[in-house]
Amino acid sequence: MKRLLALLFLLSLLTVSCGKKHDGIELQLWNFGDLPALIEWVRSRVDSFQAAHPGVRVVQSEKSWNMIRELLYANLTSGTGPDVMNVHANYAAEFGGAGFFTPINTFEDFEEVKSLFEPGLMESTRHGNNYYGLPCSGIAFTLVCNADLFDAEGIAPPRTWSQFREAARRLTKDTNGDGKTDQWGLVLLGADRGSFSYRFAPFLFKAGQDILTDDLTKVAFNTPRGVEALRLFVDMHQVDHSITPGFLAYHHSEVNDLFCSNKVAMSIEGPWFRTIVDQKSPGKKFYTVPVPVPDHMIALYDSLPTLQDMMMYSISAFTKHPQESWELMKSMRTLEADMDWITKDLGGIATTTGALYSPEAERKEDLALYRRELRFARPWPPHPGIISIANNVITPWVQRAIVGELSPEEAMAGAAAEAQQILDGKK
Amino acid sequence: MKRATPYLLLLPALIFTVFVLAYPLIQNLFNSFYQVSLVRGTGGWIGLENYEKVFRDSEFWLAFRNTAVYAVAGTVLALVVGLAFALLLNLKLGRITTVFNVIYTIPWVISPVVAGFTWKWLLNDNFGIINHWLISLGLIHEEITWLGNPDTALLCVAIARLWQFYPFAMVMFLAGLQAIPEEQYEAAAVDGASMFQKFYNITLPNLQSVSAVLLLLGILWSFNDFNMVFVMTRGGPMNASMVLPVLVREYSFVFFDLGKGSALSVIIFALLVSLSFLYLKALSRREPA
């Protein structure tokens, strides 16, 4: 027995002595996102940071977007997790407001760093008087139109809701004459609650509709304008049958496959879509245009807002090395680093003014459109409960209306009542 | 020292069991009586409020009904299919039997996540092979949106579950069939019993205990099955295929209400323990002393 214990003791000593220990500071960097090019980009930035800061070791971990909230809540509520991470900008309200992120305006050179970024995008990282991140990868939701199908039909990408509905109707057809529809006007991403609400919200915004009141205390989307936005989809699905019938089961992969195989003509997407299409169907052409607006608002076509989304780099409130984390974060968001978002396909667009208006940016496909859309685009309202409202309230109620379980009025009223409960802290 | 040695040797296993089994169970039970929200933080003791919230939630009752259908119907059908294949394999046709034995067992050894994704693509409305076959055979005219239709989503997941569980039932039934004494069939043949009579009066009674174990295991496993449903539908569309284990995740990691999620876990646990107890008790009464 003594021998056995002695052997175990020796083995444990050996294990401990073999472990590699870093004498300097160690920072944990969580990279959310599955795009290989993005992972490689982060790695290259980390390498150059470490070369410039030999006393700091950065441990990069790849995490899935699908688990982002679960992982952050599980770790940050227990005071663990990364020092630096990339997250949705609307987490500034939810996580920043809850005290899980470090307010970066407390750093001495913050104002200087802030001036690098597009003001509207920088504002998306603010909650109350504090800023909780540096912008990265701007996204404006737009309409993508399958060029093969639009050109074959001889129609232009739609600008108004009636043109949108008409285009979807004309592009829904039986292409091989077997008596059944095999091409649809529009595909919706219905199986992912978050993604679905991100595709409905641009239509609310384009209708001049707010989600919440300015003081963030009341629900604002249950109005005739909001109902009309929903009715557009209801009519397209139930009257025109121009939305893919199986949309409730679709994730990104199904939507991408349908678009690339010319089975659908339109989808609501963002800047990442070109990378995906290029990978799946190299050379395939599509038109990227603003999300259509209500007919009577066509005069405001160029300035009505769409939904803005964005990532930001944030620092955990529990980091033991705030200054080093800030240095790491800044190194990820220099002008030089942001130029990679112009020259490479990293799923979003640049966020620094220098990169966005650089000569290289002028040559980037669709960038002028995204730049303009982002100038007017609005993020989800900065309320801590907004993600829950978007994913768990708006999506299920809107879907029930689209499939005909409820009228648009009933659905919007139900969603508004449930969302108000969240705002009032009752749910 | 000699007397203590066995206990010392058992200690690592005991510590392991306590940490991976007892501790989470007890902590979960505690959580169910507290306000534990990742969003609002941990509050104090709230008694049975979490349980009340669960029972007042219409989603719970929908998930409960779906789970019962998924578990009972899926298991019973898997047993029927498993028995049918076991009877075929019991014909003992030489090497062919061995080959089919291996082939039929494949679904069982595939990871539920892989199986879920495979079924999801098989059932895809536009690119899935099932719609293609059904159209080719003239059985349907238009593609069916299997997983996008609230009326068919749960059925599809149950079929996928059946596909995964029947090999286990088949192997167990096959073992049971091979244990039936040949003399019983010979005696029945002498008495002029038909094939159906032999099956009904000899085969089925001899498989009773195997069937009971399979039914219990099948229902328990299906009741707890998270992977297949989550991968194929995530409980959708519009909660049409929501089952209790997926709802636990919804409560805990979508709404971040760990107290409510824990309460539901305890309810599922209590339900399954009671079910197992009642079933085994009923079974023991029926068995001769």
| pLDDT, position B91 | 83
The answer on A171 and A53 residing in a single domain is no
User: What does the pLDDT read at residue A231?
Assistant: 97
Note whether A173 and A57 are same-domain residues. no
Distance from CA of B7 to the nearest CA of A (A): 13
Domain that holds residue A199: 142-306+385-423
Please report the domains of chain B, with CATH numbers, ordered by start residue.
73-242 (1.10.3720.10)
Nearest chain B residue to A188, by CA: B148
| Beta-ladder partners of A378 | A307
Contact residues on chain B for A403, CB-CB shorter than 8 A: 150, 238
Residue where the block lists tokens 């309320």: A383
What are the pLDDT digits (tens) for A141-199?
999 999 999 999 999 999 999 999 999 999 999 998 888 899 999 999 999 888 999 99
Q: Quick one: A218 and A345 in the same domain?
A: no
Q: Evaluate whether residue A19 is within a structural domain.
A: no
Residues of A in contact with B145 (CB under 8 A): 245-246, 248-249
Identify the pLDDT of residue A12: 59
- Does A33 contact B at CB distance below 8 Å? no
Preferred mutation among A73, A187, A195, A389 to probe B, highest tally of B CBs within 10 A: A73
Q: Do A246 and B142 touch (CB under 8 A)?
A: no
Residues of chain A with Cβ-Cβ distance to B143 below 8 Å are 180, 246
- Chain A residues close to B8, C-beta within 8 Å: 1
- Alpha-carbon gap: A112 to the closest alpha carbon of chain B (Å): 33
Q: Tell me, yes or no, whether A302 and A163 share the same domain.
A: yes
With CA atoms as reference, the chain B residue closest to A264 would be B126
- The tens digit of pLDDT for each residue in A287-307 reads 999 999 999 999 999 999 999
Q: Tell me the shortest Cα–Cα distance from A396 to chain B, in angstroms.
A: 6
Share above pLDDT 90 across residues of chain B, in percent, rounded to a whole number: 47
In a domain, A17, yes or no: no
Q: How far apart are CA A75 and CA B17, in angstroms?
A: 25
Amino acid A65: pLDDT:
82
Residue A279 shares a structural domain with residue A405: yes
Nearest-angstrom CA–CA distance, B128 and B121: 6
- Amino acid A9: pLDDT: 59
Helix (H, G, I), strand (E, B) or coil at A73: helix
User: Looking at chain A, which residue has its C-alpha nearest residue B121?
Assistant: A254
Are A101 and A32 contained in the same domain?
Answer: yes
Closest by CA position to B281, among listed B182, B221, B212 = B212
Residue A227, pLDDT score: 97
Residues A269 and A228 in one domain: yes
Dihedral angle, C-alpha B126, B132, B138, B141, nearest 10 °: 0
pLDDT averaged per 10 residues, chain A (length 427): 60 54 83 86 94 93 86 87 93 90 96 94 92 94 97 96 97 90 95 92 96 94 96 97 94 93 96 90 95 96 94 95 96 94 89 94 90 92 88 94 96 96 86
Note the pTM of the prediction, 2 decimals: 0.84
Rg (CA), chain A: 24
Q: Would you place residue B285 in the very low, low, confident or very high pLDDT band (cuts 50, 70, 90)?
A: low
Q: Are residues A177 and A325 in the same domain?
A: no
Closest residue of B to A402, CA-based? B238
Q: What is the mean pLDDT of chain B?
A: 89
Mutation target for B interface from A11, A77, A80, A258: give the one with most B CBs within 10 A. A77
Do A176 and A65 have their domain in common? Answer: no
* Residue A35 domain-assigned (yes or no): yes
Asked if A262 and A391 sit in the same domain, the reply is yes
For chain A positions 61-100, those within 8 Å of chain B (CB to CB) are 69-70, 73-74, 77, 98
Q: pLDDT value at position B1?
A: 66
Question: A115 and A161 in one domain?
Answer: no
Find, among B268, B288, B256, the residue nearest to B36 by Cα.
B256
Burial readout A62-97 (b: 16 or more C-beta within 10 A, e: otherwise): ebeeeebbbbbbbbbbeeebbbbbbbbbbbbbbbbb
Whether B289 shows a pLDDT value over 50: the answer reads: no
- Nearest CB to B125; choose among A70, A245, A388: A245
**A249 to B153: CB separation less than 8 angstroms, yes or no:** yes
Residue A364: its pLDDT value, please? Answer: 86
Regarding whether A104 and A179 lie in a shared domain, the answer is no
- Position A126 scores a pLDDT of 93
Identify which of B8, B125, B255 has the shortest CB distance to residue A246: B125
